[in-house]
Each structure stands twice: as C-alpha cells, then as structure tokens.
Amino acid sequence: LESHSQVVVGDVSDLADGQMMSCVAGTTNVLVCRVKGSLYAIEDRCSHADVVLSTGLLQGHIVTCPRHGARFDVRDGSHAGPPAHTGVKSFDISDTDTGIAVTLRKTERPDEFPEGGYLRTR
C-alpha cells in the first residue's frame, strides 16, 4: 500500500457519541466523529465553498454545513442535500498503537481538491 499513508490524528477517546472534532492529517483537515459507537473521518471542508463542516450540525450519520446547509453522510462523504452538488472525501480511520489514524493517499493535498469537491474516492 505504498500509495497510502496512515497519519495519527491523536487521541479521540474523549469524543462522545454524536460529537465531531477537527483534526489535521498532514496538510488535510479531517472531520472525525463518532456515531453509534463507530468512528468516521471525512474531509473537513464543504464541497460548496471553503467552509469547515465540523462546526456544523451532526444528526445521525448526516452532517449539515454551517454556512448554507448542504448535507453529507459521514460514512462515505456522499452528498446528502443541496446546495452542494458533490460529496467530500472520506478516509479510513483506525486504532493504532500510537492513537487514532486516518489513511490518506500520498498525493492528497488541499491544492488537489478542485472546486466542487470530490465524490467518494476510495
């Protein structure tokens, strides 16, 4: 898996069910949340404009953007409501010896995120 790298984003043991936090993985901002006991990680940037999603509202598996209300499913980053047209990236998240890690493609950089965002890429 040379094209992927795991980046430890820290200790999320305090993250309660239904809560979100923003983490930095390399140069990527990642929204980490816990829903019904499971951790999820998606890009912490709305595909509609450059706005962090982690200050929005999380209801079940759906996060609502704080700016204009676009919705995304934290399970896969898929688009779940307008005004955005596309989803955001999602990442694998796992427990490691040194903490929670998200898996990024080596090439993932913010300047590779085109306007309009991504559909699910993994």
List interacting residues with ligand FES (CB under 6 A).
46, 48-49, 51, 65, 67-70, 83-84
Smaller CB separation from ligand FES, 15 or 51: 51
Interatomic CA distance for residues 75 and 7, integer angstroms:
19
Smaller CB separation from ligand FES, 6 or 47: 47
The per-residue b/e assignment along 45-65, b for 16 or more CB within 10 angstroms, e otherwise, is bbbbeebbbbebebeebbbbb
Smaller CB separation from ligand FES, 99 or 110: 110
Residue 110 C-beta: closest distance to ligand FES, Å: 16
Please report, as a single letter, which amino acid is at residue 26. Answer: G
Residue 46 C-beta: closest distance to ligand FES, Å: 3
CB contact at 8 A, 40 and 74: yes
